[in-house]
Structure 1
Amino acid sequence: MPRQAPEPDGRALVGRAELEAARALLDGLLSPTPQTRWPLLDEATGCEVLVKHENHNPTGAFKVRGGLVYMTRLKAERPDVSGVVCATRGNHGQSVALAAARVGLTATIVVPGCNNPEKNAAMRAYGAEVIVHGSDFVEASDHAKALAAERGLHPVPSFHPWLVAGVGIYALELFTAAPDLEAVFVPIGMGSGICGVVAARDALGLRTKVYGVVSETVDAYRRSFLAGAPVPCDCADTLADGIAVRVPNPTALEAILAGVADVLTVSDAEILAAMGRYFTTAHTIAEGAGAAPLAGLMRYRDALGLTGRRVGLILSGGNPDRALYARALATMEQGDHD
């Protein structure tokens, strides 16, 4: 059974001041993304659903906010840095590449061999050197650390308070527009997005329940949430590359334990169906991680007592590869004929 939402306890990684400073830094660089009600999506879910369209950002994902904040602050505090390196499954790397180019830094991005080739192409288009190494994110991350030492590059982490403050702006936008949300569903990758949501909720003094969503096959954060301590999983096999994280970040987990009501699991089939449902009900493109919150709402709405309630969904990114998206649309088409 889901546990009750924790009371805000002041342990959010960033506070109101950090969030507002990040928002001021992004002013003029990024426009706020919309939060939109779609009648067909309300009908499909049985809830009043507000979709936060982070897929409308440059790079097509929420990560760009954190990348711009991180690179701007890095350049100001470390003017001697000439280049950065990071590991990614795609959206973090696009964010780093775009933001590094903006402040005059080189970007080297390490991706695993299974990575979305279209995301690789996008990172190169932003000016990054893309290196393919390893079979999953953990192996790519280890290689990125080695390159940092070998080449004298600044290693950009996948989780950092500057990143949390940057991406947390989307939650400030959402909660300012809709402070009466009963719950918000957020995908969990390395954790910056959901920690930003918790930070913004607590900064505004709201009682909205925050639910994290992960893949049932890559469920490290679910295991860790139940154990109250980091517990890795062995598998990174899911079509939702943005949440294919098998080793949780301890700092992110601490904030999740303090501020999240539950971490829920969904199947690849449910994620695929949610990708198709976003297209048919909201005329929008969602990648696997971006569709996971909708899959979570569809699976758990009754158990959580959310039917008929006002709920937010974080559509974190809209960068699926063509083959996967074709599968999602085919799944919905098949469902229409069943």
Structure 2
Amino acid sequence: MSTTLHGTPTVTPRADGLPSLRAIEEAAGVVYREFQATPQYRWGLSSQRLGTDCWIKHENHTPVGAFKIRGGLTYFDALKKSGTLPLEVISATRGNHGQSIGWAARAHGVACTIVVPHGNSIEKNAAMRALGVTLIEHGQDFQESREFAIQLAAERGAHMVPSFHADLLRGVATSWWEFMQAVPQLDVVYVPIGQGSGACSAIAAKLALGRKLRIVGVVSAHATTYADSLAAGRVVEAPVTTRLADGMACRIADPAALELMAPHIDHLVQVTDDEVAQAMRDLYADTHNVAEGAGAASFAAAMQERSELKGQVVGTTLCGSNVDSTTLASVLGAC
């Protein structure tokens, strides 16, 4: 059976709207045309720091340095299979979603315009342009960029690619499917929440594989729409003041993501920019991998709760490494 979220047909969803095991396995076939499964390691120093076994899923090792590429690949594959591949797509981003859409659009010969807010990451902008993206700067935050992108798509008759959609979830879920199969003993995973695709995809993989691990959502303490919305049972707008975690800088939660997330998230952890910066330093020292703010958030959350994790196998995700060089130098230099 098929359904729709935001107007585009999805492929083999479950009754609750999450992708089934078969859908995730099919999505993996699409993803692996571009790159193979990313690694996950039990890092000794990170485990020592956390006080228990800590596994890190390295989504920073994809061709765009972030997990989002998986969703872009499956989204465009669904468009192609349904015969609705457009001439032009438009979307909004703080960077990693835009690289995902830019990569997939280029692969399918589709023109791509991406809207980012003023002051967006210089290096993420450069990476999108290198993929052939036409970049437009508009608005002071992601929400303003998103609203402008929707308006622009309507004016041009272009296809608006949302930040949360069932066909994006199928692709992103392949990361968690890989992780949970590779480390079946996981007791708990920490998942950063931006627009919600990562958390909902972790839930999908857990249910598809029949695992009993706990999923802990991680939000920025300076962008609390998902924490506030889950507590209230409805979308609650919240201001965004984070300086580091641009991948989590969401002002208005997606209602479809909230609906899927609410029954399955064990609890939420709010991490400050200072905690994120420390996690960026810790991950670099322990693994010599670079983490952007959102990419370090799950480790920051685990560290915040480390006294409660003794004897458990903990999974975190270095979900992105696309941090500007000047920002990284400033963070590492603040030891």
Secondary structure of 1:237's aligned partner: coil
Query: Which residue number in structure 1 is paired with residue 332 of structure 2?
Result: 329
Deviations 1:162-205 (A, max 9, x none): 00000100001000011111100010000111111000001111
Query: Which residue number in structure 2 is paired with residue 4 of structure 1?
Result: none
In structure 1, what residue type is equivalent to 2:323? P
Match of 1:129 among 125, 134, 142: 134
Query: Which residue number in structure 2 is paired with residue 201 of structure 1?
Result: 206
The answer on whether the counterparts of 1:186 and 1:210 sit within 8 Å (CA) in structure 2 is: yes
Q: CA deviation at 1:125?
A: 0.1
Deviations 1:128-150 (A, max 9, x none): 00000000001000110111011
Match of 2:193 among 177, 182, 188: 188
The answer on whether the counterparts of 1:189 and 1:243 sit within 8 Å (CA) in structure 2 is: yes
Give the 5 Å matches for 1:33-72: 33-72=38-77
| 316-325 or 78-87, larger mean C-alpha shift | 78-87
Query: Which residue number in structure 1 is paired with residue 4 of structure 2?
Result: none
- Report the identity percentage: 43
- Is 1:85 aligned to residue 83 of structure 2? no
Match of 1:157 among 155, 162, 167: 162
The answer on whether the counterparts of 2:17 and 2:166 sit within 8 Å (CA) in structure 1 is: no
- Is 1:309 aligned to residue 319 of structure 2? no
Task: Note the aligned Cα RMSD (angstroms).
Answer: 1.3
Match of 2:217 among 212, 232, 240: 212
Give the Cα separation in 2 of the matches to 1:314 and 1:96: 21
Give the Cα separation in 1 of the matches to 2:26 and 2:43: 32
The answer on whether the counterparts of 1:272 and 1:328 sit within 8 Å (CA) in structure 2 is: yes
Query: Which residue number in structure 1 is paired with residue 9 of structure 2?
Result: none
The answer on whether the counterparts of 1:238 and 1:244 sit within 8 Å (CA) in structure 2 is: no
The answer on whether the counterparts of 2:18 and 2:204 sit within 8 Å (CA) in structure 1 is: yes
Query: Which residue number in structure 2 is paired with residue 30 of structure 1?
Result: 35
Give the Cα separation in 1 of the matches to 2:286 and 2:143: 36
| 201-210 or 222-231, larger mean C-alpha shift | 222-231
| 82-91 or 37-46, larger mean C-alpha shift | 37-46
The answer on whether the counterparts of 1:215 and 1:268 sit within 8 Å (CA) in structure 2 is: yes
Structure 1 pair 10–278 and aligned structure 2 pair: CA distance change class (3 A) = farther
Q: CA deviation at 1:161?
A: 0.4
| 129-138 or 26-35, larger mean C-alpha shift | 26-35
Which runs of 5 or more residues in structure 1 are unaligned?
Answer: 1-8, 333-338
In structure 2, what residue type is equivalent to 1:231? V
Query: Which residue number in structure 2 is paired with residue 258 of structure 1?
Result: 263
Q: CA deviation at 1:26?
A: 2.1
The answer on whether the counterparts of 1:273 and 1:331 sit within 8 Å (CA) in structure 2 is: no
Match of 2:183 among 175, 178, 186: 178
Structure 1 pair 107–187 and aligned structure 2 pair: CA distance change class (3 A) = same
Give the Cα separation in 2 of the matches to 1:47 and 1:241: 29
Which runs of 5 or more residues in structure 2 are unaligned?
Answer: 1-13
Query: Which residue number in structure 2 is paired with residue 279 of structure 1?
Result: 284
- Is 1:223 aligned to residue 239 of structure 2? no
TM-score if structure 1 supplies the norm length? 0.93
Match of 1:100 among 83, 105, 113: 105
Deviations 1:96-138 (A, max 9, x none): 0010000110100000002101100000000000000000001
Give the Cα separation in 1 of the matches to 2:73 and 2:172: 10
| 250-259 or 61-70, larger mean C-alpha shift | 250-259
TM-score if structure 2 supplies the norm length? 0.93
Secondary structure of 2:174's aligned partner: helix
